[in-house]
Structure 1
Amino acid sequence: MQKADEITQMVCHVCDLQDGEMKEVEVDQHKMLLVRSNGEFSAVGNLCTHYGAPLIKGALVGDRVRCPFHGACFNVKSGDIEEFPGLDCLPSYKVKVEDGKVYVTLNKKTQKVTKRVKEMSGRKPNICHTVLLIGGGPASLQCAEILRQNQYEGRIIMVSKEDVLPFDKTKLSKALNIESDKILLRQSDFLQKHGIEVLTQKEVVSVNTKNKTVTMNDGSVQNYDQLLISTGCRARSLQCPGADLENVRLLQSFKDAGEIHKLSLGNRVVVIGTSFIGMEVAGYLSDKAASVSVIGNSEYPYQKSLGQDIGKMTMKMLEEKNVKFYMKSGVTEIRGQNGKVKEVILQNGTVLPADIVVVGIGVIPNSDFLKGSTIEVDSRNAVVVDKFMRTNVPDVFAAGDVVSFPLAMFGNRRVNIGHWQLAQALGRVAGLNMLKRQTEVNTVPFFWTVLLGKSVRYTGYGEGYNDIVFKGNVEERKFLAFYIKDDKVIAAASLNFDPAVSRIAEMMAKGNEITKAQAESADLTWLQLP
């Protein structure tokens, strides 16, 4: 018998949807995603809980759908999030099949709900057990939430040097002047409700693993029973005369972003570095600054990571917005006046007038505070962990950009990768293993970069690729690139070619090998693109 607050409507005939297909349907003008998988029908929310992308344009493989924009995955039967980015699940709806017709039931009370938070416990004061999370980024937050979702009721403390609660750092270089309340991952009342303490503007300066204590920059000492190191990376500083002038800036924090935006308006900007941060900042400022000049040491931007052709295309995109490039060059000196930047001197003697210099030349793992401890770090100062996110010290785990971990699709060789999605995935694994729920890291890297409103998507791990196979046309800015090593596809990138990268990510996640011959074939039906 139907409840008074429910609406049930027929949405299609059984024959309208084949196995492995999905379609958007409506109940009482409310859109949802109807899926037929393994002979069963199910219905979930139609918008990704990360940035609201339409999942109908995503990749359906088995019982899960992968977002076409940033790669988040959801189980189509339960709506649960199974791969990141994003924090929340999809709402799910009751489905019944009768007389060859498919009916979906909607609850009026939750009609406008587009996200579903998994049930989480809180803290019980009588439980004397503390998990300390060093770092206020996605790995720490995901670890905290996975603990509460699995009924951990001890104390959770997150230590963050930021002056705001955990936020979406990926947005900073894409929109420097964004307001803090628009990028917070969770509001303070949510964190308080679930007993997740966040200590802002605090930094751990040392760890004593024997006594299970950490010391903060204010001299305070905190005990722990289990520890997560998720301190991320910091921007690499420029090493040249004048690098310490007032208007030479690094983009590391929410505060940095706002200051760079303010200092750049109507002024002459020089960006040093042509990888993801530098290029996104240059693109964002192209219509806000008086001039934008970009300095890179390679022939084209992204040359090592994405290849020459894509780099050349992105360079042309920004040049069309009057961004000037000075490639195959470097900075010998920054000259100032009254303590502020005046001009940048290049290796070939070129002088660039500048009011502000933004430096984006790579990152360094934040592990200096571990000196003197027994926690192992590698030659790059990344914290060494196993596939369970355990360090060499009992009860000490690590996750996120600060770690070197074994990547399954790279033959379990250790890698250090600074992707948002990966940080969340590693934080989840760390949390589950803290609870003795043995879980290995098994994720496929996925990231995106945005230039002038256009998004390049990337999946896999392209280290050591020796060939690129293109579909579409790079110059026309509609392409799919396969990165090849030993006649196998190890990574893929695209622009205006959705949901190709999401589908490739799902194939990689299932362990399906993609050959160079498949990539080169004129027939791409194996990709099942719309």
Structure 2
Amino acid sequence: MSHHVPIQKFRPPPPKERTPAPDVESEEEEEETKAVCGVEDLKDGEMMEVNVGDHTVLLARCGGEYTAIGNQCTHYGAPLSRGAISGNRVRCPWHGSCFNVKTGDLEEYPGMDCLPCHKVKIKNKTVYVSVNKKLARQGKRIKEMGTRVSGVLHTVLLLGGGSASLVCAETLRQEKYGGRIIMVTRDDLLPYDKTRLSKVMSVQSDTILLRRMEFFHQYDIEVWLRKEALSLNTEKKTVTFNDGLTQCYDQLLIATGCRAKELDCPGAHLENILMLETPEDARRIHYSCIGCQIVIVGTSFVGMEVASYMTDKAIGITVIGSTELPYQRTLGPEIGKLTMKMLEEKGVKFYMNDSVTEIRGENGKVKEIVLKSGVTVPANVLIVGIGVIPNSEFLKGSPIALEPKNYVIVDKYMRTNVTDVYCAGDVTSFPLKMAKDHRVSIGHWQLSQAHGKVAAMNMLHKEVELNTAPFYWTVLLGKTIRYTGYGEGYTELVVKGKLEDLKFLAFYIKNNEVVAAAGLNFDPAVSVVAERFAMGKVITKSEAESDDLSWLKLPAP
């Protein structure tokens, strides 16, 4: 029986010291000004990187006006000048974050923070940019947020400690919500960047935290760790937790996510069968696999990324897939075949159209894997990545509507069928605007964040609809494939460049329209496509087939 771990609860921050107002002279010393270009050097709707001292700045011209913001995306530091600009916003070429070029404010995830905004002056047909050195050094800024207001007797309870809950909490405070916010997670960690787990598996937990405890203290967001919801009473507006506590709410967000599906076959109880869900799991996989024979079950994102990561660490890697090719239902067979070849060249062995029927052990540990085809594969470690199950069991017996696979049904405002109960993230089944409001369950990081924001805005009765273009990425052998849209049911693939050259853009076509795109070494094309999707502009099949690629804003060769 596990021993009881004390719950880490919110404590009010110590009183802040008042800092004296800076004198004008020191502020001026903090500023650096430089002539960066002639007034005609940029046309309307263009942007470029300029340097002011040691600082890189994104200079843009929109509606005849010059503006300047930081040039490094606050997500992973990509140069925004190589991204896509449309109207007043720039989209990052790497992972699709968007920023307003006039204010530096974040407008689309996966980034969390805004960019510093710099002053622009035009004198004698020359453009001058003035940079506040302190702001520029920080590289990012948190959007202005409020705190709890005494006397406001209203509670928002957030179930789950992932990106949807975090963004919901932050959005509430940005919109000056003054009530109590409680975020409850069964994890023993504050919200962290889960996308890193399968890419850098030796990761230390504190390096991937999205916010530190001081942040939650500062903005009065209570965080309860190691607590799990067991039941929900929507009439009394209460949630009961695994430690016996019952908490009341005025508005509730269900953002409990999904968990990894387990293998169901003889031997599934043996040691050294691992699944990737937490930083601790990632480290265990990393250290268990060094110098070992490993078998990975599953050929979608987790399985393929783990196989790629282990190519220079394990002595033998075998991958078992239930389809004919990896990513068959997502990136499609053409890209699946390419990724399989990339990994085979690194010594990875594939058994496709196959499955595990038995796991044999010795001294309680995995020894070999028996496949449906009759093949027996030796293994010291078995890693399972065969899909997910929504964490919605605690809703059984409540009136919250679930679809047949137990995902929570929401509308485009992230509302469930019960008043004051919202849902966000991987546990939802939601209408996707760009797929003509077809109901989907997509476990993308950026979508979870967008859900969290929309839920918060609607809790505050601001009637904001979910309107975001799905964007995700996967890293194999140091190469990043980017993807935007929703390609399910596509009937044709149009490829620009060559798959075998590892430099391509693939358009997924359905009903003579582009419904998704995937690219490798073709930046910023996927971001340009994502921006078209986000604006609701159709990309026709003939446009995708055309040899004129100027609209994709590709850099000169």
Q: For this structure pair, what is the TM-score category when the shorter chain's length is used for normalisation?
A: over 0.9
Residue from 36, 39, 44 that aligns with 1:11: 36
Of 114, 125, 134, 1:89 maps to 114
State the Cα deviation string for residues 245-272 of structure 1 (Å, max 9, x = none): 1211111122211111121111111000
- Who is 1:439 aligned against? 464
How far apart, CA to CA, are the structure 2 residues paired with 1:83 and 1:360? 29
For 1:263 and 1:294, the matched residues in 2 are separated by 17
2:99 corresponds to which of 70, 74, 79: 74
Q: Distance in 1 between matches of 2:247 and 2:309?
A: 41
Local SS of the residue matching 1:4? helix
The answer as to 2:204 corresponding to 1:179 is: yes
Which of 341-350 and 257-266 deviates more? Answer: 257-266
AA at the equivalent of 2:519: S
| Bigger mean CA offset, 298-307 vs 423-432 | 298-307
State the alpha-carbon separation in 1 of the partners of residues 369 and 134 from structure 2.
60
Helix, strand or coil at the partner of 2:453: helix
Partners of 1:256 and 1:212 in 2: how far apart?
A: 35
Give CA deviations for 1:95-151 in whole Å, capped at 9, x if unaligned: 111221111111233231200110111123432211110000000000000000011
User: Partner residue of 1:117?
Assistant: 142
Aligned amino acid, residue 4 of structure 1: E
Q: Aligned partner of 2:495: which letter? A: F
CA drift at 1:62: 1.2
Q: Deviations over 1:397-428 (max 9, x none)?
A: 00011101111111112111110000000100
- Residue 275 of structure 1 corresponds to which residue in structure 2? 300
C-alpha displacement of 1:319 = 1.3
Residue 291 of structure 1 corresponds to 316
AA in 2 matched with 1:259: R
* One-letter identity of the residue aligned with 1:109: K
Amino acid at match of 1:107: N
The equivalent of 2:481 in structure 1 is 456
* RMSD of aligned Cα (Å): 1.2
In structure 2, what is the Cα distance between the partners aligned to 1:523 and 1:4?
49
5 Å-filtered alignment, 1:432-511, equals: 432-511=457-536
Unaligned runs of 5+ in 1: none
Q: Aligned to 1:70, what secondary structure does the other structure show?
A: coil
Corresponding residue number in structure 2 for 1:309: 334
Residue type of the alignment partner of 2:267: G
The answer for the alignment partner of 1:357 in structure 2 is 382
Question: What code does the residue aligned with 1:447 have?
Answer: Y
Partner of 1:424: 449
In the aligned structure 2, how far is the partner of 1:7 from the partner of 1:57? 24
- Structure 2 SS opposite 1:167: coil
Counterpart mapping for 1:77-476 below 5 A: 77-476=102-501
Bigger shift: 93-102 or 438-447? 93-102
Q: Which of residues 64, 72, 91 is equivalent to 1:47?
A: 72
**What SS class does the counterpart of residue 51 from structure 1 fall into?**
coil
Mind listing any 5+ residue stretches in structure 2 that lack a counterpart? 1-23
State the one-letter code of the partner of 2:271: E
**1:526 Cα deviation from its structure 2 partner:** 2.7
- Rounded to whole Å, the distance in 2 between the matches of 1:55 and 1:451 is 23
Amino acid aligned to 1:12: C
Secondary structure of 1:112 counterpart? helix
> CA-to-partner distance for each residue in 1:250-295, whole Å, 9 max, x for gaps?
1112221111112111111100000001000111111111211100
What are the superposed Cα offsets for residues 11-58 of structure 1, whole Å, 9 maximum, x if unpaired?
110111111111111112311110011111000000000000111111
Q: Once the two structures are superposed, what CA deviation does each residue of 1:180-210 show, in whole Å capped at 9, x if it has no partner?
A: 1110000111111111111111110111111
Shift of 1:529: 2.3
**C-alpha separation in 1, matches of 2:535 and 2:28:** 43
- 1:458 Cα deviation after fit: 0.3
Q: What's the offset of the Cα at 1:60?
A: 0.9
Q: How far apart are the structure 2 equivalents of 1:157 and 1:110?
A: 31
Partners of 2:332 and 2:152 in 1: CA distance: 53
- In the alignment of these two chains, the number of paired residues is 530
**Counterparts of 1:43 and 1:467, CA distance in 2:** 41
Asked if the contact 2:524–2:552 (Cα under 8 Å) also holds between the matched residues in 1, the reply is: no
Instruction: Tell me the distance in 1 between the aligned counterparts of 2:353 and 2:133.
Output: 61
The answer for the alignment partner of 1:523 in structure 2 is 548
SS in 2 for 1:328: coil
Distance 2:113 2:423 in 1: 23
**Contact 2:204 2:279 survives alignment (8 Å):** no
Task: Tell me, yes or no, if the aligned pair for 2:260 and 2:389 is still in contact at 8 Å.
Answer: yes
TM-score by length of 2: 0.94
AA of the residue aligned to 1:350: V
Mapped partners of 1:206, 1:246: distance in 2 = 32
CA distance in 2, matches of 1:32, 1:463: 39
User: Do the aligned residues in 1 keep the contact of 2:317 with 2:348 (CA within 8 Å)?
Assistant: yes
2:8 matched residue in structure 1: none
Cα distance in 2 for partners of 1:526, 1:451 equals 28
Distance in 2 (alpha carbons) for counterparts of 1:385 and 1:111: 41
Kept in 1: contact 2:164–2:450 (CA 8 A): yes
CA contact (8 A) 2:43 2:61 kept: yes
- Deviation at residue 370 of structure 1 after TM alignment: 0.3
In 1, Cα distance between equivalents of 2:210 and 2:54: 29
